[in-house]
Amino acid sequence: MKTALDLVAAAKARIQEIPVDAAEAAIAQADVLIDVREPDEYRQGHLPGAINLPRGVLEFQMSSQSAMEPRGLRIVLYCKTSGRAALAACALQDMGYLDVRSVAGGFDAWKAAGKAVAVPVAPVFG
């Protein structure tokens, strides 16, 4: 029986991971930056410009949004440490997307490298 780590290792063998030091350039050239973490993780901080499409609904969201239909979209994905993003990248490749990359080390590596993090500000009612 395979473990989650086995599945992630197999996924990483099939996808293109970009190191954190090259991620900003890849993101600048991407059509879409997708955070596949859960909404509560996203609200705690995310890469600037990222949209949140959690791993559990990614395929459904990609299929239901006309802006996401072109299979030539340049897509960069990330999660907390890169496991979910690797699985998501495989799923998108299986759906026919041609240019899908994942940030190696994910959000944790991005933050550890001192790169910019966006944190939504809660409204103040007064």
- Which of 68, 76, 79, 100 is catalytic? The answer is 79
pLDDT given at position 116: 95
Residue 123: pLDDT above 90?
no
Which residue(s) pair with 100 in the sheet? Answer: 75
Residue position matching structure tokens 């890469």: 47
Q: Is 90 considered catalytic here?
A: no
The reported pTM is 0.93
Which pairing describes strands 32-35 and 51-52: parallel, antiparallel, or unpaired?
parallel
- Condensed to tens digits (0 to 9), the pLDDT of residues 3-39 reads 999 999 999 999 999 999 999 999 999 999 999 999 9
- The CA-atom distances, in angstroms, between 106 and each of 23, 36, 41, 71 are 10, 10, 13, 23
Q: For residue 117, is pLDDT > 90?
A: yes
pLDDT at res. 126: 74
DSSP annotation of 111 reads H
Pairing, β 74-78 against β 51-52: unpaired
Over residues 83-93, the mean pLDDT reads 98
Query: What pLDDT, on the 0 to 100 scale, is given for residue 42?
Result: 96
Q: Per-residue b/e over 86-114, b at no fewer than 16 CB within 10 Å?
A: bbbbbbbbeeebebbbbbbbbbebbbeee
Per-residue pLDDT averaged across 76-105, rounded? 98
Provide the CATH number for the domain formed by 4-111 in this structure: 3.40.250.10
Q: What is the mean pLDDT of the chain?
A: 96
The predicted structure's pLDDT at residue 122: 74
Measured distance CA(103)–CA(79) in Å, rounded: 8
